[in-house]
Every structure is written in structure tokens, then in C-alpha cells.
Amino acid sequence: MGRALTIFDKFIAGNFLVWAMVILFGYRWRHLEFHVYVLLVLLQAAGMFAVWGLLRRFALPVWLLVLLEVAILMHLAGGSLFVQGTRLYDCYAVASLPLPSWLSQATRYDKLLHGYFAAVGLVGLRWLWPRLQLGPAGRPFAVVLMLLIVMGVCSLVEVTEYIGTKVVSLPEVGGYDNNLQDLLANLGGALAAAGGVALRDRSVRAQP
């Protein structure tokens, strides 16, 4: 008999179906050629299959899958839902703040989601760290390595996004400022997660 489906198997399969439907029917406002949507679905399938292959041997906890699911649904909503004619990704939690122009998008939905993704990535990597036999996850050097790994992955995402804008015209993605603001948001989210986990660990150790 074959191996029974795990929660993670169902998580990957369910999200692939949801993601494919949103790409095919929720992103039609971009008015791209249909083959581009199909290509995006195939790329999404390849990416999710790679993630499944890498992580299927770990019994990811339900709380981590929930955090990931929230991130995925927020991403899909940001690119396919509109609020009074404005794409959700372009909406602001706070309309205006006394910030320099290069930080003017700090409360934009897109940047808040980037920060959340990086935070979830840091927390997830910290959970995996000892299971990958890389040593204690709470050591400062290990935390710095995790931050660098998360930011490296985020940078690859930005490189991929940049290449995508050159292959297909996606004017809503933005340019250099957008990419660097995304990375700043990622850094802020990862640092916040690392600090929050460190404070939690300290409070646990302080308990009698």
C-alpha cells in the first residue's frame, strides 16, 4: 500500500488548486495572453513541487502551516481583489505618515505582506534548524545565519520578479525603489520575528 496522505501533502495539493484558479481567473484584469497565465500555473506547480520534495520528510506543525496559509491567501487576495477600484496590494493601512519619500510606502499592503512573509520564513527556518541537525537554533550566530538565509531567499524572489517584468509587461510591479522597499520590508519582518522569538525564549527560561 502507498503512503497515506499527510497534512502537508493536502496543504500543497489544496494550495496548488487555489493558486491555479486565482491565476487563471482572478488575474485576468492584467489582460495578458492566455498562454502567459498557463505558464504562470506551470511555474507555480514546479515551485510547489520543489517545496513539497524538500519539506515532505518533516512533520511541519499545524501552527506553521496556518501561518503559511495566511501568507498565501493574503498574497492571492492582494493581487486579485480591488477596493474602490484600487488593487489591494496598492492600498495603505495608514494613508500618510511623516516619513521620507523612500519610506512613504511603509504601510502599504504589499510591504506589510512582505514583512509578514519574511517573519514566517524566519520562524519556520528556526523550527527546522535543529531538525536539519544544524545545532541549537537560539545561538546568536545561528540567528544571524537564519536572517541571511531568509534575506537571500527574498532577494531571489526580487530577482525573479525583475526578470518577470522584462519578459512580460507588468507595470503594476514597480521598479528599483519597489524592489528595495520590498527587501527593507522583508528585513523588518525577519528582525521582528527574530526579536519576538528571542523574547519568548528568554521568558520561558526565566520561568521557575
Rounded to an integer, what distance in angstroms lies between the CA atom of residue 163 and that of residue 178? 14
* C-beta pairs of 125-129 under 8 Å, 24+ apart in sequence: 125/149, 125/150, 126/197, 127/60, 127/61, 127/64, 128/58
Do 109 and 78 contact (CB within 8 A), yes or no?
yes
pLDDT in tens, 165-203: 777 666 556 667 778 888 999 999 999 999 998 888 788
Given a contact cutoff of 8 angstroms between Cβ atoms, the answer to whether 15 and 72 are in contact is: yes
Mean pLDDT calculated for residue range 20-29: 86
State the pLDDT at residue 208: 65
Q: Classify each residue of 91-109 as buried b or exposed e, where b means 16 or more C-beta atoms within 10 Å of its C-beta.
A: bbeeeeeeeeeeeebbbbb
Question: Could you report the per-residue pLDDT of 112-156, keeping only the tens digit for each?
Answer: 999 999 999 999 999 999 999 998 888 889 999 999 999 999 999
Per the CB < 8 A criterion, the answer to whether 161 and 154 are in contact is no
- Tell me the three state secondary structure of residue 171: coil
pLDDT at residue 10 greater than cutoff 70: yes
* Cα-based distances in Å from 32 to 28, 46, 172: 7, 21, 13
